[in-house]
Structure 1
Amino acid sequence: MGGTMIKMNCILLTVCIILVAFCSSGYALRCYHCENSPSLCKTNNTCLSTEDACLQMRFGKLRTSSCWKMSQCNVNDIAVFYQLDNFEYFCCQQDLCNESTVTAVNKAAFSIVSVMTMLWMLL
């Protein structure tokens, strides 16, 4: 009986992993979108199929949030596009992850803890 239970847990875990993989692929990313805003952005857009990342930049007291390409998430490409030379930035690849650095980290940590809890419950 114990061997059967372990096999069922493994099957359930495999199904969950496959579902997560399918659910996370094939959909358009959503990112916050604001230009030169002094406060956190509340507007969001669906990104183009060529845009696979969300970008947030800070320069002085202003923030710009938008859809972006992960392959262009570097100082040089961002500086050329926005014509800036002194800014902070980060890119991420989950829906609405570019609202703020702290929140993005907290959401990532929360996601990891949720998955680990689910795995622990299955085993």
Structure 2
Amino acid sequence: MMKSSVVFLLAVGFAMFGFGLSLQCYSCPGGSSSDCEVKQECNGGEDSCLKLTSGDDTYTTCMRYADCDLMTLGVRYPLPDFTFSCCQSKLCNGPEKSAFQKFKDFFG
């Protein structure tokens, strides 16, 4: 019984990803000093969300996880000093949120 449930869940998971469900990220690629609330559906090859901070500016966008490294980002964002993180879940590159807000974003 347990084995058939696991197989069913895996089949549903593969079907969902196979039909092109895309990742959603916050997107303020020009930098913002305030919290960005613009949401973007990522394109086919973009499988992660970027959050890059330099001083008071924060840049958020979709990107390929394979490009989430210091050298690539240094070319794309020629800033003197920055920190960055890449994540792979829905709207994960926004401001820090409470557990309730994360739950609401995931299902809403």
Task: List gaps (5 residues or longer) in structure 1.
Answer: 1-7, 111-123
Could you say what secondary structure the match of 1:39 adopts? Answer: coil
The separation in 2 between residues aligned to 1:45 and 1:12, in whole angstroms, is 34
The structure with the largest strand share of the pair is 2
Provide the residue aligned with 2:7 in structure 1: 14
The answer to whether 1:40 aligns with 2:35 is yes
The answer to whether 1:55 aligns with 2:50 is yes
Aligned pairs for 1:108-123 (under 5 A) are none
Could you say what secondary structure the match of 2:2 adopts? Answer: helix
Of stretches 28-37 and 74-83 in structure 1, the one that deviates more from structure 2 is 28-37
Q: TM-score, normalised by structure 2?
A: 0.76
Provide the residue aligned with 2:77 in structure 1: 82
Could you say what secondary structure the match of 1:20 adopts? Answer: helix
The separation in 1 between residues aligned to 2:75 and 2:63, in whole angstroms, is 14
The structure with the largest helix share of the pair is 1
Q: 1:91 to 1:74 in 2, by over 3 A?
A: same
In the alignment of these two chains, the number of paired residues is 98
The one-letter code of the counterpart of 2:38 is T
Please give the per-residue CA displacement for 1:46-89, whole angstroms capped at 9, x wherever unaligned: 12212221100111122110011111100111111111131110
Task: List gaps (5 residues or longer) in structure 2.
Answer: 104-108
Of stretches 24-33 and 53-62 in structure 1, the one that deviates more from structure 2 is 24-33
Please give the per-residue CA displacement for 1:90-118, whole angstroms capped at 9, x wherever unaligned: 11122211114x55xx6xxx8xxxxxxxx
RMSD: 2.1
